[in-house]
Amino acid sequence: MTIELDLRDEFAVLRINRPEALNALSFSLIGDIGEAIDRAGASDARALIVTGAGEKSFCAGADIKELMDRPLAEQKRGAELGQAVFSRLDRLRIPSVALVNGYAFGGGCELALACTFRLASPNARFGLPEIKLGLIPGYGGTQRLPRLIGEARALELIMTGRTANAEEALRLGLVNRIVEPPLLDAAFAFAREFSSHGLLALQFAREAVQRAASTTLAEGLRAEADLSTLAYRTADAEEGMKAFIEKRKPVFKDT
């Protein structure tokens, strides 16, 4: 099975296991990723770690041979498939962490961008090189990258097709941290910084921040007020405030 999903402790680990092709994506693999994301969301996991097999590549992008000689309607359906699958990470009930080991090019970079957080190994490299093929990113790269690092820097990377190493990606704000091996242990340690918090509060916080990228300040503030009020109505909020008063660690139950 090329897309693997395992439960490790309190985490789900989605691994693209096609190292002989640098974990490149076919359309069938994209569909399998979507199914794995759904299974992770239905599990008891408190975070999803997305990574690639081997040390060379997180995901080297689309299988170029599969992209050629397709009718226009199929080309559009292909882009819509990638966008729909990666957008499932936005709606996932648990946060996701892209653990980028090596190359994250094209669709692989777009998969990483769709995750809540991104961690990079020291040898990680990011890029959207579609322009060099006479194409542009189609799985969300033109939309998520500028929201993450700003329009000017996103345009530079997309229109030159150049790659950014881990250090530059960190400076740009493309990744949250550079982590050292053992990489999976580092990802678990990062995820444990938030995985003990209530999932409802994490979802509300994520949604509120995402609204900031797609609406006006006034509308965003209204959304924040609504989501903040919803958070107050949860049993976890009552437990959290009570634990603070009683000077103990809260026990959240995601309700």
Q: Report pLDDT digits (tens) over 131-173.
A: 999 999 999 999 999 999 999 999 999 999 999 999 999 999 9
User: CA neighbours within 13 Å on the CB side: how many for 139?
Assistant: 27
- Give catalytic status of residue 110 as yes or no: yes
Between the CA atoms of 206, 209, 210 and 214, what dihedral angle is there, to the nearest 10 degrees? 160
Reported pTM: 0.95
Catalytic residue selected from 74, 80, 110, 239: 110
**Per-residue pLDDT reduced to its tens digit, 31-45:** 999 999 999 999 999
Low-confidence ranges of the chain (pLDDT < 70): 1
pLDDT at 231: 96
Catalytic residue selected from 4, 10, 35, 130: 130
59 phi and psi angles, rounded to 5 deg? -170, 120
